[in-house]
Copies of this chain bind each other. A is one copy, B any other.
Amino acid sequence: MVGRQGIKEHSGELDVTLKEWTGYRDSVQDELKEISNRTPPSLRNILRYHMGWENEKGCARQGKPGKFIRSILHLLSCRAVGGDTAQVLPSAAALELVHNLSLIHDDIQDRSHERHGRPTVWKLWGKSQAINIGDFMFALASLALLKLKDNGVPSEEMIYSFHLLTEACKELCEGQCLDIEFENRVDITEEDYLNMIRKKTAALIAASTSMGAYLGKGGEKAQYFHQFGEALGMAYQIRDDILGIWGIRESTGKSIEGDLRQRKKTLPVVYALRESKNKAKLKRLFSQRHIGVGDIPIVVEILDQSGARDHAQNLIQKYCRRALEQLEASGVERNHQAALKQMANSLAERNY
């Protein structure tokens, strides 16, 4: 595996980078906590609950924090081109806010009851407040980005970052629209699927890496970082699809089978609907309004037998390889690539 080799090559640096990740995550969390301090109590409570810092009563809790993938990639990309990571903490926070508002709205849309092993926001506060906190976080993300100027980022660069983030938000919604539409269809091609996840997932991850390299004054390198982030985002989403079917509830914190019951056209399903010897039966199951609990083991068996999992895993490898090629092509010094490579590999192989 490309991934493992990458990790072994730089194993000396790994312990350092792992510590750095934690440091970056803590810095972004601090930035987000400061933003949440300036919000009214009701909204603050929901925001902090969702971020995992408080329980629903507003009491502090020690829980496993989220992955903070987008913000860490942002900071690592900034650093890789020689930029000042402290300066771009506001944009890192903005990326997390956009991502998390999309999760809160997504949970309503997908009727998901659990996230990170806890009840989702809409389950506790109702759909109305869950819609509202998402909108609120959109505004907070813009305000966070505007703070870049206070950190010394020139106006023109801040404006361009706004462009990048906003275009990514637009694509995210376009992807989400397709994802919802696809629920009612059984004729989704792999091309349709890849286009959908490129928008739904890869666009924001690409914005994270390209904005990081751009704000870090990486100039032309930002293009390569965009490609790196996009390919990594594709691998990330396909891995998410696999975990949504074959993952372990305790690791992902989400109820397994949600994607299937919701008739999501994840890659394994798209593949099996085309390649499985039982595709007619699978099509019938996916043509119901909802897939019942009793039908789930039948669907999983068909997916298992179709080779869909291997196919998905191969595509992850392909996108992961492409991501690392783009990183190489960026011309960034090798020792600056290490942490990003490690992150890419661990995301593609993750079980959480």
Query: Which residues of A are in contact with B by a Cβ distance under 8 Å?
Result: 39-40, 42-43, 101-102, 105, 108-110, 126-129, 131-136, 138-140, 142-143, 146, 149, 155-156, 158-159, 162-163, 166-167, 169-170, 172-174, 176-178, 180-181
Contacts and interface: CB of A to CB of B under 8 A. Distances in A.
Interface of chain A, main secondary structure: helix
Given A139-B173, A155-B156, A146 B162 contact: yes
Given A42-B177, A108-B131, A134-B135, A166 B142 contact: yes
A131 B132 contact: no
A138 B136 contact: no
Nearest to A111: B128
A140 B129 CA distance: 23
For A142, A172, A180, which residue has the most chain B Cβ atoms within 10 angstroms? A142
A109 B138 contact: no
14 contacts: A40-B174, A43-B174, A109-B127, A109-B132, A131-B131, A133-B177, A135-B172, A136-B174, A139-B167, A139-B169, A143-B163, A146-B162, A146-B166, A155-B159
Given A40-B177, A126-B180, A139-B166, 8 more contacts: A110-B128, A127-B127, A133-B173, A135-B138, A135-B172, A135-B173, A143-B167, A149-B159
Nearest to A125: B180
Given A43-B174, A138-B169, A166-B142, A129 B159 contact: no
Contact of A177 (B101, B136, B169, B174): B136
A43 B129 CA distance: 24
A160 to B, nearest CB: 10
Nearest to A183: B128
A178 to B, nearest CB: 8
B143 A170 contact: yes
Contact of A162 (B110, B134, B142): B142
Copies of this chain in the oligomer: 2
Contacts of A149: 159
A127 B143 CA distance: 28
A-B pairs, top 9 by smallest CB distance, nearest first, are: A136-B173, A109-B128, A139-B169, A139-B170, A142-B166, A155-B155, A138-B138, A128-B180, A135-B173
A173 to B, nearest CB: 4
Contact of A131 (B105, B142, B146, B162): B105
A156 to B, nearest CB: 6
Contacts of A105: 131-132, 135
A138 B140 CA distance: 12
A123 to B, nearest CB: 15
Given A43-B177, A128-B109, A128-B180, A163 B138 contact: no
A109 to B, nearest CB: 4
Contacts of A40: 174, 177
A142 to B, nearest CB: 4
Contacts of A142: 142, 162, 166, 169
